[in-house]
Amino acid sequence: MSQTHAQFLLSRLEAIGHSLAKRESALALIGLGSVGRELHRLDEYSDLDFFVVVAGGAKRAYLQDLSWLEEVAQPAYQFRNTPDGYKLLFADGIFCEFAVFEQDELRSVPFSAGRVVWKRENIPESIAVPEKTHTPQEKPTVEWLIGETLTNLYMGLSRDRRGEKLSAMRFIQVFAVERLLELAEIIELATPSRAEYSSTVLPDVFAPERRFEQRYPWIEHALADFMQGYERNRQSARAILEFLQEHFEINQAMRKVILDYCQ
C-alpha cells in the first residue's frame, strides 16, 4: 500500500473536518468505506467517501455552496450525482463522493457503519452507525439462479444471431455473469475447503461485485472467459455454460439449444 497516498487521503479528510468545525450548523463528518472503519483497505487507488451531517434546515446551503470544501483544496470538477451529494475531483488528484444529511434525516438512511472523523461535543459517536440498516432481499434459490443464467444466455445468443451484439453482450456478459456471482457463494458453501478464501474479506452489501476477486480467487481465472467482449458473445456464453455444467445439474434441452446457438 502506498503510505503516502493513504496519509494524503486521511489528511484531506481531517482538513475537511477542520473546515466544517468553523461552521456553526455543521455537526459531524463521517468517513465511510476505506476511510471509515476499513482503513486496512486503503491503497493508491482509494478515494474519499464521506457524509456531512448538518443541523435542520442547513442541508440546502451546504449543497449549493461548496466553500467548506473549496477552502480545503480547489476542485477541478464536480457534479451533483444525487439529490444529497456530489462526485468531485480536486485539482491535486483526490477524488471524493459525499452526501450531506440533516441529523434527523440521517436516521432513515441505510449505510455501512462508518468512522467519526469530526463531531460537535454534543453529538454521540453512534452517529456513524446507521439506525436503518440495509435489508437484503430474500436470497434466490439455486434453481432460480440457474434458470436465469440459462435463459439469459439463450436470449443473448438469439439477439447475437440477429445482429444485436450490444444487447446480446448485456444479457450474456452482464446479466448472466451477475447470477454467477451469486452462485459462487453457493459453490463455496458446498466446498468447505474453499471457505478460507473469502472469510477475511468482507463483502459490500450494496455492490456484490466489489472485491469479488479477493473473496473468490478460485474463480477469478474464469472471469475473463465469461466476459470476452463485444465480438465474442458466443465464446463467452459457452464458457459460462461449461462452468454451470461443471458445478450444477442443468437442463440438457436448454444446454443443447445454447450450444447450438454458440456455433
Burial class (CB in 10 A: 0-12, 13-18, 19+), 234: buried
Q: Looking at the predicted structure, is the pLDDT value of residue 2 above 80?
A: no
Does position 51 have pLDDT exceeding 90, yes or no? yes
Tell me the mean pLDDT in the region 80-101. Answer: 94
Between CA 220 and CA 91 the distance in angstroms is 35
Residue of 174, 147, 184, 141 whose CA lies nearest to 258 = 147
Residue 208 has pLDDT above 80, yes or no: no
CA distance 39 to 52: 19
Q: Evaluate whether 155 touches 63 at the Cβ level (below 8 Å).
A: no
Q: pLDDT per residue over 162-198, tens digit each? A: 999 999 999 999 999 989 888 877 776 544 444 454 4
Quick one: pLDDT at residue 198? 47
- Confirm if 94 and 12 have CB atoms less than 8 A apart: yes
Report pLDDT digits (tens) over 109-149: 989 899 999 999 999 999 999 987 655 567 789 999 999 99
Number of Cα atoms under 13 Å in the Cβ half of residue 116 = 14
Share of residues in the chain with pLDDT > 90 (%): 62
pLDDT at residue number 190: 44
Judged against a pLDDT cut of 80, whether residue 228 lies above it is answered with: yes
Instruction: Using pLDDT thresholds of 50, 70 and 90, give the confidence band for residue 45.
Output: confident
Q: What is the pLDDT of residue 193?
A: 47
Can you tell me the mean pLDDT for 57-80? 96
Beta sheet of 26-31, edge-to-edge order: 75-82, 85-90, 95-102, 48-54, 26-31, 115-119
56: pLDDT strictly greater than 90:
yes
| Residue 38's pLDDT band (cuts 50, 70, 90) | confident
CA–CA separation, 92 and 73 (whole Å): 8
